[in-house]
Amino acid sequence: MLYRTDAQAGALCEALARSGIPYQKRSHRRLLDEPMARLLAETLRTAGGHGSVGEQLKRAAEFLQCHQGTAPQALGPAWEFSRSPESEETEAEALSRQLDAAVTLLEPLAIQSADDVTQFLDRLALGAEVDLWDPRAERVSLLTLHAAKGLEFDVVFIVGCEDGLLPLRWGGGAGADIAEERRLLYVGMTRARQRLLLSYARKRRWRGKVREMEASPFLHEIEEQLLERRKSTETKRVRRASGRQLELF
């Protein structure tokens, strides 16, 4: 599942977690730009401990979950931004989900570092999220279009194909590089080996406001005979049972 900006991922992560569908989220940004990864790193650095880095990482997450009142304060504005305004989650549920996702993200790096926390923190400072993408994982991959370069999938969903998001020009006015945005969509479309699904919303909440959306002008450039158009049908949201996770395959 691909999208233009990392800010779009929060609602997707919440929906997948609520449905019990495993996923791995990656972007091209630095690992320490991820608020939860940064918080876990700071906890590891100050707490000390014993055992493998993976074990210490899980204990750090458990510690933060047990002290949920202090974690959002430590994260500051990044925490508020990571929780979308329309979110149905409680603060505790959002924190728990995002900590679990951060542990899953950092586990490969923790395994590589064995018992060396210093090595882990050094690699963490230099790494990017997409460096830890696992092609063998039986999880839905959530990637920005930039992070998807060079990768291929049997089925690709590109979400948010709306004017303002793709091409991205909210706040950018006429200065948006339309040619580069078109190339970026082309990169995403050519990641699909067998099936490609393009979707857009008629309304979207963005930075506290509900916006009426128009389909991306790039969609009109695709030859009609190549498209199969479908309208979505609204279904009642069902919150998954606690602790229940569905298998992807």
pLDDT per position as a tens digit, 160-182: 999 988 998 865 445 568 999 99
Residue 240 confidence class, pLDDT cut points 50, 70, 90: very low
Query: Which of 228, 25, 231, 213 has its CA nearest to residue 134?
Result: 25
Q: What is the pTM of this model?
A: 0.65
Higher pLDDT, 229 or 185: 185
Domain ranges of the chain: 1-29+135-249, 31-127
What does R_g of the chain's alpha carbons equal in angstroms?
Answer: 19
**Structure confidence at residue 44 (pLDDT):** 86
Length of the chain: 249
Residue 247, class by beta-carbon neighbours within 10 Å (0-12 exposed, 13-18 middle, 19+ buried)?
Answer: exposed
pLDDT at 68: 63
Under CATH, domain 1-29+135-249 is a member of which superfamily?
Answer: P-loop containing nucleotide triphosphate hydrolases (3.40.50.300)
- Quick check: 151 and 2 in contact, CB under 8 A? no
With CA atoms as reference, report the closest residue to 204 among 23, 1, 24, 4: 4
Residues 6+ positions from 41 with CB-CB distance below 8 Å: 32, 121, 124
Helix (H) or strand (E) holding 103: helix 91-113
